[in-house]
Amino acid sequence: MATFIKENRVLLILTGITILCAMIILSGRLIAENNNKAYDVVLDYNEIEAMASQSDYDMDFWFQKFKSLGINKVGLTEESLITLMEETDYNVQAEVMARATENARWQEKYPEGFTDRILERGYDSFDVIAEAKGKEIANFLKKGIEERIDKDLYILFEEGDSLYIFIDGTSDVALYSEKYKYQNANNRGYQERIDVVSSKIMYISLGFLKEKVEKCRDAGFVIVPRTMSYSGYNSNEFARAVTKGYEENGIMPDYIIIGGQAVLGFDEGTDFIENYITKNNIKLGLIENTNQRQNIMQFGLLEVSQLTSYQNVRVFTVWPYIQNRYQYYGYQGSEEIENTLYRAIVERNIRVIYYRPIFENEDLHTYVTDPHEYEALFTGLEERLEKHGFYMGEAEKYIPYEVSLLLKIMVGLGSIFGALILLSTLFRMNRRVKTVLALAGSLGVIFMALKMPHMYELLCAFSGAVIFSSIALSYFVAMSKQASLRLSEDSRTLSIMVIASLTLVVSVMVALLGGLMSAAPISSISYMLEIDIFRGVKAAQLIPLLVFVFSYLAFFGCHEEKATFGILEGKDIKKMLNTQIKIWMAVIAVIILGMGVYYIIRTGHSSTLKVSSLEMIFRNHLEDILLARPRSKEFLIAFPAISVMVYASVRRLKIISMISGLLGVIGMTSVANTFQHIRTPLYLGLYRTFIGLLFGLILGLIWIFVIEILNKLYNKYLKKGFMGL
């Protein structure tokens, strides 16, 4: 090791300088994260109202109950034809012309003057026809349509206290049934058909009902407006009418959480909403996807976010599948919903919870109406979040932190120097070759950073993770070999344990540097808000597995001892490829391959494999007692396996040495991967790694102790330990 350091001291010094540059980047990110500790909860008005209707308490009671828990905001959706039909007592009916004209005498339902105007204009299946009976609701709809929809797109007809409405629609806004088959009149075969069943026009926001606004205001709640807008009906005129409606109702939103297809006024660009947000210092909500990865990016949302210097907050919606997590995983109440909200805020930079109440019976959509359940949920959540410094209040935008190009280049150079250090552990390279490669790599880094900046930062993050985790695994392979040369086969177990533990610590620290070098170039605000994400997690975990094979061959050879360890030779690969495959080898290979496939499938947030209930209960318990849960695969398997590799190498247990080393690679890649999730605060990744290392050290010693006993028993009673094959 001393010789290696001497031969590569210049590369090590240069790498150290680039690591310092990464630390400078990450210190700026830490400041941004530490200044963003307020989280907010916004109630969904419609679902609170629905829950109240199922309970023994009215809306006022529930508002006051949530207010006593520190919640003072409510999301109120503007009314549309569909909400007025389905969620109010007003007499409003609306349907697409495709449905209306199924009755040949459809015109008889409406006043003659109204149908004459429709026939004169012309209609098709995609248009919408509606009627509203009652002066109050007729006036409401008339005002909303006249202010928000182009006058060339509608017909309004008044008769008495009723209002009749026709709105021109297109196939782009039509909503269709699923494809189905029906038998024709002659009983001959089946034909496929898709029907027009509704239209997005029926969901366009037309204003707030005064009674709902007053109910929220009387309860002391701040209204967060929800407006639905759709292409073709989302002009600047629509946007002006919407914001005018906010003002008329005394609403100045802290957040705008977009509904529908796009930001307000998007049909004519993003200038209107950009100016409105900037002028009024409003935060634009980024709604996290249902799979808890990235955000729902409606049209114009990215542009407005960038133009307002990311004046955003991330919003977590309590989707129906989360509402149904009552008495989940064997809990007595809403503990798993609390866990879900806790992880959203602590681990994913969520700062606004759009809250919907709990379902008791999934199929019946029955709400939990015991006030104590909600009190327990939010009280428990608040106590747990306090440990991380979070508090309930108005959510603030992040400091618009960006990584400078110069520092990104320095971090990229670190990957080049690290790659040369890695190659030096496998091949003989003289100083001239290293210099040429270093210069060529440096020029490549500078070129990419200047000409392809976005691709460069992703490649820089990818290479940092792969290279430094590969250096870490090469280190523990080298130390395992050195331990086998320095210590005799019958050395004291305690001596082996000391070397094994030190090897584990250094290996994890090197992998941790890889995580930091990977995180540094992508620590900008767009990654914190998960507008941009790092891709390539699976590849970053597969490549080091291949490096391990070469590293193992370089230090241990194939079959017999190497004369010059630390150098990968062609004959090593040739011997490996010419190895006679025995049945027990094939069995082990299949098992390892199966484990590898399972590991890769489980890697990433969008895994197709569900975590078992038992594992989730274990994870949740660790979250309850620790500041952050360490990764199970690290402290239960990978970290102890590195200690075992050192032990097995000294004891000449070749199979165990190789397999445990392979498992150890998982730990090195996992540590680097921890820091590639930029939405997760940096301190959390550091804590998670160090607590995982502590547990891994302890379990590694236990593993060594158990294997030592088993090996002695087999050697004593079977004369030859099968583990020494």
pLDDT at 145 over 70: yes
pLDDT at residue number 247: 95
CA distances from 418 to 144, 421, 426, 540, 544 (A): 63, 5, 13, 15, 14
pLDDT at 724 over 50: no
Q: Which residue has the higher pLDDT, 350 or 628?
A: 350
CATH fold group of domain 37-78+207-392: TIM Barrel (3.20.20)
pLDDT at residue number 497: 95
Mean pLDDT, rounded, of the chain? 89
What span, in angstroms and rounded, lies between the C-alpha atoms of 602 and 670? 12
Instruction: Please report which confidence band the pLDDT of residue 5 belongs to, taking 50, 70 and 90 as the band edges.
Output: confident
Average pLDDT of span 10-33: 94
pLDDT at residue number 595: 62
Burial pattern 275-298, b for ≥16 Cβ within 10 A else e, equals: ebbeeeebbbbbbbeeebebbeeb
pLDDT at residue number 506: 96
Please give the full DSSP string across 358-424, using - where no structure is assigned.
PEEETTTTEEP--HHHHHHHHHHHHHHHHTTT-EES---PPP-----HHHHHHHHHHHHHHHHHHHH
CB 91 within 8 A of CB 137: yes
What span, in angstroms and rounded, lies between the C-alpha atoms of 189 and 516? 65
What span, in angstroms and rounded, lies between the C-alpha atoms of 596 and 541? 11
Tokens encoding 23: 């630390």
pLDDT at 703 over 70: yes
What span, in angstroms and rounded, lies between the C-alpha atoms of 556 and 646? 12
pLDDT at residue number 725: 45
What span, in angstroms and rounded, lies between the C-alpha atoms of 510 and 418? 11
Would you kindly state where each structural domain of the chain is located, as residue ranges? 37-78+207-392, 89-183+192-200, 403-724
pLDDT tens figures, 471-507: 999 999 999 999 998 999 889 999 999 999 999 999 9
Instruction: Please report which confidence band the pLDDT of residue 1 belongs to, taking 50, 70 and 90 as the band edges.
Output: low
pLDDT at 598 over 80: no
Average pLDDT of span 637-653: 94
CA distances from 51 to 45, 359, 360, 371, 390 (A): 10, 9, 11, 11, 29
Point out the least confidently predicted range of 112-121, 325-334, 429-438, 588-597: 588-597
Which helix H or strand E contains 228, and what residues bound it?
Answer: strand 228-229
CA atoms in the 13 A half-sphere facing the CB of 113: 7
pLDDT tens figures, 161-202: 999 999 999 998 988 777 766 666 555 556 677 888 899 999
In the structure, how many helices (H) and strands (E) does the chain have? 28, 20
Q: What is the DSSP letter of 635?
A: I
CB 270 within 8 A of CB 244: no
pLDDT tens figures, 350-388: 999 999 999 987 667 899 999 999 999 999 999 999 999
Q: Which residue has the higher pLDDT, 67 or 598?
A: 67
pLDDT at 21 over 90: yes
Tokens encoding 349: 């930079």
Average pLDDT of span 41-59: 95
pLDDT at residue number 571: 67
CA atoms in the 13 A half-sphere facing the CB of 199: 29
Using N-to-C axis directions, what is the helix angle for 654-674 and 682-717, rounded to 10°?
170
CB 342 within 8 A of CB 384: yes
Number of neighbours of residue 188 by Cβ within 10 angstroms: 8
Question: Residue 314: left (phi > 0), alpha (psi -120 to 50), or beta?
Answer: beta
pLDDT tens figures, 270-294: 999 999 999 999 999 999 999 888 9
pLDDT at residue number 721: 43
CB 166 within 8 A of CB 127: yes
Q: What count of residues does the chain have? A: 725
What span, in angstroms and rounded, lies between the C-alpha atoms of 438 and 570? 25
pLDDT tens figures, 247-256: 999 999 999 9
Point out the least confidently predicted range of 121-135, 155-169, 524-538, 584-598: 584-598
Backbone angles phi and psi of 259, in degrees to 5: -115, 170
Tokens encoding 109: 């339902």
Instruction: Please report which confidence band the pLDDT of residue 627 belongs to, taking 50, 70 and 90 as the band edges.
Output: confident
pLDDT at residue number 625: 86
pLDDT at 263 over 60: yes
Instruction: Please report which confidence band the pLDDT of residue 723 belongs to, taking 50, 70 and 90 as the band edges.
Output: very low
What span, in angstroms and rounded, lies between the C-alpha atoms of 178 and 193? 8
pLDDT at 404 over 90: yes
